[in-house]
Amino acid sequence: MQKRGVSFSGFLLVDGDWFNRQRVKLVYKDSGGKVLFWRFSNGEYKEEVKQDIQFLVDNGYPLKGVVCDGKKALIKAGEHFEVPVQRCLVHMQLKLQTLLTKKPRTQAGKDLLLWSRHLNQVHNKQDARVLIGWYLRLLKRHKEFINEKTISTSDQDQKTWWYTHKYLRQAYYHILNAKGYIFPYLRTPGLPKDTNGIEGFFSQVDTKLSRHRGLSQLRKENLISWLFYLREFKQKP
């Protein structure tokens, strides 16, 4: 797609950022740097994202791939267009660090945290095979431990149970559930492996909003829209 001297890569970064804990701003940005579309919503919904991407495609956007933070709605929306869908590896690393903490107490946690630090250092398919094999060995080694259950019996002799190492287990299965979306960038030249191009702009917007805390919801949305507009369309000298 090329118009008015602007060309697009076709690799679409999609991300949502909540503000006021009520509304989310969904942003669609070409990996080449241009913000193409944005909307405000009450959540990140598959049908809305599909509609937005379809709008871009109908208007000539040469969609080749989608990069998102891994939310199910965004992944499913991207898959609808039968293009590669890449999970943001930075989001994955941060999620794992949150679940494991920076200083895990268990060996299973320490092993997986070390593994996660290599996630964003995969440059070819051989690296990917090594990392996948490493993860599978860790899962096999610690599976019994991460699946341990704590059982409690109430005064009425009713038994309840929960996973003893809840967050550790979530971390291991977070990776397993992400399979298929971790390394598409290795098979698709030019496909980014993160949404950092959007995250940086979100930080700028949040800084602006923090200076105008007294604005109503509608006025905040108008301010955000103006920030997007001025960023993309204001004539530069």
Q: What is the pLDDT of residues 7-59, one digit of tens each?
A: 899 999 999 888 767 788 899 999 998 889 988 889 899 999 999 999 999 99
What three-state secondary structure class fits 122?
coil
Q: Say if residues 209 and 81 touch (Cβ distance below 8 Å).
A: no
Going across the sheet that includes 23-30, the strands are 35-41, 23-30, 11-19, 65-68, 85-87
With bands split at pLDDT 50, 70 and 90, how would you rate the model's confidence at 3? very low
Reported as a single tens digit per residue, the pLDDT across 119-130 is: 999 999 999 999
Distance from C-alpha of 202 to C-alpha of 120, rounded to nearest angstrom:
22
Distance from C-alpha of 192 to C-alpha of 86, rounded to nearest angstrom:
8
Q: Where in the chain is the domain with CATH 3.30.420.10?
A: 2-88+194-233
> Span 2-88+194-233: which CATH code?
3.30.420.10
Tell me whether residue 157 is exposed, middle or buried, using C-beta atoms within 10 angstroms of its C-beta: 0 to 12, 13 to 18, 19 or more. Answer: exposed
The answer for residues whose C-beta is within 8 angstroms of residue 105's C-beta and 6 or more apart is none
Tell me whether residue 116 is exposed, middle or buried, using C-beta atoms within 10 angstroms of its C-beta: 0 to 12, 13 to 18, 19 or more. Answer: buried
Distance from C-alpha of 61 to C-alpha of 115, rounded to nearest angstrom:
37
Q: What is the mean pLDDT of the chain?
A: 88
Q: Is the pLDDT of residue 237 over 70?
A: no
Q: Is the pLDDT of residue 90 over 60?
A: yes
